[in-house]
Amino acid sequence: MTTMTFDAVSERRAGPAWHARWQRSWPAYEAWFIGRGGDAGPDQGACRAAMLRHMPELVATYDQLVAVSGGSDRAARFLATWCPPTYLGGCSLAALADETGVRLVRNYDLSPKLNEGLLLRSEWVRPVMGMVEFLWGLSDGINDAGLAVALAYGGRSETAKGFGITTILRYVLETCETVSEAIAVLKRVPSHMAYNIVLADRAGDSASVEVLPGGGANVMPHAVATNHQRAGRPDRPDFTRTFERHAHLLRLDIKAAELHEGFARAPLYQDRFAEGFGTLFTAEYDPEAGTMRLIWPHEQWQQSLDGFETGTRVIDFGTDTRLPAPPGQPAVLSSDGPDWARAALVDWCEVGRDYAAGNGRSVEYYMSKTAQRPPACGAVAGDL
């Protein structure tokens, strides 16, 4: 049975709730950071200086998080995400506006072992709620102005000087109100890797943006994205099926209010959980209402910036038959979270070679073979 725990937490400023999450997750993240060579990255002073130069409105929040975390040098560098270790994932994104409304929808595809499962509502600079990565960054989210955003890995593992994309998305939602303002930020603030970003706002504007390693961004003609960019060949396209999913998104003939239904079926919905590539959740954002839904085949969780529901839900992927999902009931179970300490040591080059040869094995198989050294090719846990 494959299960994953999702937590919804609300805290206006980083305090006891965020600190509790930090204490629970930091030991594993610290092992990941060390295993991925993070200690060889920029020092704490350089990290804070980069944030002050590129994202000054976020510095006070960053300083507070560092203080709440305990203030260690390694924690400060981890939280800054300036020139961080590589981290990747697979996703499908689309935004649409018509007479039925405005929607941004994303499928998040990865191993259940490698996602935090945390939905956080905060008011660090302004009201924001979204799915957290790296304890304060965002993979997707929405703010009180009705701006919604989501990311997908851009398909290339090359790196350059820049910030982790989840911190950039946090910055976008903390400081921007419209798609045009967000695009200006994405063009100005450098990312350390290639990512695809889809945006939508309350006025019905939408965009897909290719963010390039080291800085720069290209606005694409359609507000859809998967795991490749216009230039360069993506990593393992046959495994991720990125071109197939992108073509399917372009062909979708569906109303905005029903856009999430298109994400519940193949080729967008992925059920290869044992291979590290399953759809962990579908997130639907409604910029006009300031709401979002987490959607699974048998359950959904409606959330609002003005009426946020804290709690925990445990999703069982092992019994997935993809029938229509009635609203579910909260569960009260715990999870130890992703085992980043072991996953950081997996030889993900071997994983890629096996999948390319049609010899895919379970995540547990590769976990059992971990050696006490980081892999040589620079890939990272979760790069499927």
> Going along the chain, which residue ranges are E strands?
3-10, 90-98, 101-110, 118-122, 128-133, 137-143, 148-153, 195-200, 206-211, 217-220, 224-225, 271-272, 277-286, 291-296, 299-304, 311-316
Angle between helices 59-69 and 16-35 (to 10 degrees): 90
Question: Hey, which residues does 300 pair with through a beta bridge?
Answer: 295
pLDDT reported for residue 221: 96
pLDDT at 326 over 50: no
pLDDT at 330 over 70: no
Domains of the chain, by residue range, sit at 1-384
pLDDT reported for residue 360: 55
Could you name the CATH architecture of 1-384? 4-Layer Sandwich (3.60)
pLDDT reported for residue 220: 97
Residue range 164-180, pLDDT digits in tens: 999 999 999 999 999 99
25-34, 86-95, 163-172, 242-251: which has the minimum mean pLDDT?
86-95
pLDDT reported for residue 356: 46
Share of the chain above pLDDT 90, in %: 72
For residue 312, the SS3 value is strand
Residue range 186-205, pLDDT digits in tens: 999 999 999 999 999 999 99
pLDDT reported for residue 346: 55
Residue range 23-36, pLDDT digits in tens: 999 999 999 899 98
Burial label for 222, CB within 10 Å (0-12, 13-18, 19+), is middle
